[in-house]
Structure 1
Amino acid sequence: MRFDSNFWQAIDSRYHPELKAIAVERTIRSQEFLFQDKDPYYGFYVIRTGKFRLFNLNDAGDEATISVLGKDQTIALVPIFTGQSHNHAYCQAIEDNSFYFFDKNKFISLIKKRTDLLFSIAEMAVDFTLGFRDKYLSVILQRAEDRIIDFLRELGAETTYVKLPLAKKQLASLLDITPESLSRLLNKLKTDKILSETDGAYRINKYNFTFPSNT
């Protein structure tokens, strides 16, 4: 999916000093909220270390995980262009994290003076939006096994063992399956020798996707 765009790699390095000049470095502890639904929107974030999860709650209080975001990815970038005044999701740290905060007014003032920087940022916002389309299509067109493997692949499981960054209930919500199905399919993938597991971490041995990601 397109949620994994690297903020700094997507922007010409000549603009990095100007961006860091208006950025505020902050830290947050695991399980703390970066923002919650209906909080005022003040700007966006670029993750330095750790991971966050985005999720929504329905009227019954059930969580629907939207995505998991890590190093150099952006959070809440799209509202810079939509002009919304409030956040429409919850963002929670799932590790002790550090990040850059970009105040929306300072950032807008900067990109108004740097047209090519504006285009780079707009492209990232569009890419993130398309990521939601990809997620929707994957739920429709991919088998559940494919979605599990695709998620692990994005964590780097093709080259090393990775731990699941979410509780199984939260990960199942992200993958649009039940927690019971997730456990069963993980066991099946291990039995079929598609996955290896050690100390709760997984690695992909081999896999052929029935529906490729990033389409």
Structure 2
Amino acid sequence: MNTNDLFDVVEATWPAAKETQVGPWLIRDGQGGGKRVSAARPAGPVTQNDVALAVAEMEKLGQQALFSLRPEDGQLDSILAQMGYEVLDPSILFTGPVFEEVVPPVTAFDIWPPLQIMKDVWSEGGIGPGRIAVMERVTGPKTSILGRISDRAAGCAFVAMHGTTAMVHAVEVLPDYRRHGLARNMMYAAARWAKEQGAEHFSLVTTGSNVAAQSLYSSLGLSVVGRYHYRMKP
């Protein structure tokens, strides 16, 4: 699987409400679903003069001027840097074969639609209704993962399929229950569900600052295959 294929998986499993090409830009209507579904992307070569068009289109949607940049977007990255746009959330794409591990009893379950207690856990981590709406928009196979520890719901995640690749999003574990193996058990449950859907690849995205997540994903046999970041004016 190459990096462009994986970006296709990201967009299919975490979709914007609407994507429109305006001039040399892909403008996304995120409707509160976060940067990943709201950032503009170049659809071809762009110049500094084209930036104003993207900004105007995002303002029409009530969104901040935000751009998503992949490694091949070096020229646009330089233009935005010169215009005062600052780097946000350098992110890392992980992928690898679907692994098979036993999920310890009563620790993680796949459930769709998500229960209210799961929405409450997500909400505590800043994953609100706009991002739940993103999950609901996914048209392919999908589910949510409920993680339990100390006899309570303490973690959740979302996983969806595109082709033969499963991608996990919105991984959240409540602060008091981190570093006790709950996220790992949730990944085991996500991989088990993915295997049942015929997945051959398992993938995730995390920020460059989330060292704990990177360590976990590497220990599951996943490898870094791509990177991207955002730029926005402060």
TM-score relative to the length of structure 2: 0.28
Q: Which has the higher strand share?
A: 2
TM-score relative to the length of structure 1: 0.30
Q: Structure with the greater relative contact order (CA < 8 A, sep ≥ 6): 1 or 2?
A: 2
